[in-house]
Amino acid sequence: MRTMIDFAPLWRSSVGFDRMLDLLDEAIRLEPAGNYPPYNIEKTGEDRYRITLAVAGFAPEELTVTAQPNLLVIAGKKGESRDGQLLYQGIAGRAFQRQFNLADDVKVTGANLENGLLTVDLVREVSEAMKPRRIEIANGHQPQAIESKAAA
C-alpha cells in the first residue's frame, strides 16, 4: 500500500519552488531504480561535489557522460568482442544508464576514469543575481519635488 503525500500546504506557502516540489512528487511515484552500477555522492568542498561510479571492466569509449540542463546522464554499454570462451562471469558488464537531477546552479566540471572508478566532478556556481543583496527601505516622508508656476 502506497501513501501519497499532500504537497498543497507547501504550494500555498512557498514561491518559486515548483521544480523542487515536482521532483519530490516524481520521486514518490517512481519505482526504485536498480542498484547497478553502485555509486557514491560526496561533498568535496563548500560548493563542490563528486559522483563516483564503480564501472570495472568498462573502457572510456564505452561510457558516456552527458550534462543537460538540470540533469546528468551517465551511460555505459560494453562491446561484444571477447577473446576466448567465458566460463564464468562474475564481473557485471551489462548496459546501464544513471540519471542525477542537478540544481539550477550546479555545473559539471569534468570526468575521469581510473582503476575502474568513474568520477564526475560538479561545482555549484551561484550567479551574482542569486547572491543575497541588501534592499534599501524608502522612507514614506521623503520630500517630493513639486513644480509650481512662477508668479508674474
pLDDT tens, residue by residue, 76-91: 998 776 677 878 877 7
| Residues 53/74, Cβ–Cβ less than 8 Å | yes
Provide mean pLDDT across the span 10-23: 64
| Residues 38/106, Cβ–Cβ less than 8 Å | no
Fold of 35-80+90-130: Immunoglobulin-like (2.60.40)
Query: pTM value?
Result: 0.66
Q: Domain-by-domain residue ranges, the chain?
A: 35-80+90-130
Phi, then psi, of 109 in degrees rounded to 5: -105, -15
Distance between CA 64 and CA 105 in Å, rounded? 22
| Residues 98/92, Cβ–Cβ less than 8 Å | no
Q: Minimum mean pLDDT among 8-22, 43-57, 131-145: which range?
A: 8-22
Q: pLDDT of 91-129, one tens digit each? A: 777 899 998 988 888 899 999 999 999 999 999 887 777
Q: pLDDT of 31-50, one tens digit each? A: 556 788 999 999 999 889 99
Q: How confident is the model at residue 1 (pLDDT cuts 50, 70, 90)?
A: very low
Distance between CA 102 and CA 99 in Å, rounded? 10
Name the residue with cell 560538479.
122
Provide mean pLDDT across the span 47-55: 94
In the structure grid, which three cell numbers stand for residue 56, read together? Answer: 570495472
Please give the pLDDT value at position 149. Answer: 59
List CB contacts of 48: < 8 A, sequence separation 6 or more: 121, 122, 123, 124
Distance between CA 56 and CA 116 in Å, rounded? 4
